[in-house]
A and B are shown apart, each in its own frame.
Chain A
Amino acid sequence: DQQVKQNSPSLSVQEGRISILNCDYTNSMFDYFLWYKKYPAEGPTFLISISSIKDKNEDGRFTVFLNKSAKHLSLHIVPSQPGDSAVYFCAASEGGGGNKLTFGTGTQLKVEL
């Protein structure tokens, strides 16, 4: 049973436009959510996180939104840049922190010129 789901395997956007990546979860015990970015042949790198007591967190071009009632979160990238082309993973944990993460299957983002 997939507790964290990313239903879009791929997404293509034009440079300068907004990229919206979606993630759904089923486990109501998850209270901390993280987004990771992964380039080929590299390990995942942390991008941004949000706890369940907030509904929005911003860091530069990246904003994560959390809708607890819908068990849904999204990552907005504005404006999108070619260097943003990567696989993005949504992850969740119980009790915060970076231990025992449950990952989604990832979304391949391609930002085109």
Chain B
Amino acid sequence: NAGVTQTPKFQVLKTGQSMTLQCAQDMNHEYMSWYRQDPGMGLRLIHYSVGAGITDQGEVPNGYNVSRSTTEDFPLRLLSAAPSQTSVYFCASSYAGSYFTEAFFGQGTRLTVV
């Protein structure tokens, strides 16, 4: 099993450019989420989805867009990149059918906006 796969691993963008961070999971998990990790701030929730066609905002959603057309994929779109979006981005998925379960994370995408 590949688990949660994120692409690309590294990306440099110019201010104002747009891009999509890809995330795919092969565990048939209902829940998927995007987090960003900044120095000294831990991981913060950007957007999440409880199933195909359903998304909602997390703690820091501004400047990001998501959609969930399939169970497997949950792309994160940066509409107009800003230097404040320089961060490491993690995608996660989890099973909805149990209280005692955990989130599985991808390896991350390191994004630099110049």
Contact = CB atoms under 8 A, between A and B. Distances in A.
User: Is the contact region of chain A dominated by helix, strand, or loop, or is it mixed?
Assistant: loop
Interface string B71-107: 0000000000000000000101011101111111111
A104 B41 CA distance: 8
A43 B102 contact: no
Interface in A33-72: 34, 36, 41-46, 49, 51
B43 A97 contact: no
How big is chain A's contact interface, by range?
20 to 34
Interface residues of B, number: 30
A106 B42 CA distance: 6
Given A44-B90, A98-B92, A101-B45, A49 B107 contact: no
Contact of B99 (A32, A91, A105): A32
A34 B104 CA distance: 12
Nearest to A9: B40
B52 interface: no
Given A96-B100, A97-B99, A45 B33 contact: no
A21 to B, nearest CB: 14
A100 B45 contact: yes
A89 interface: yes
9 smallest beta-carbon distances between A and B, as pairs = A98-B94, A98-B103, A96-B99, A43-B105, A103-B42, A46-B102, A99-B31, A103-B43, A105-B42
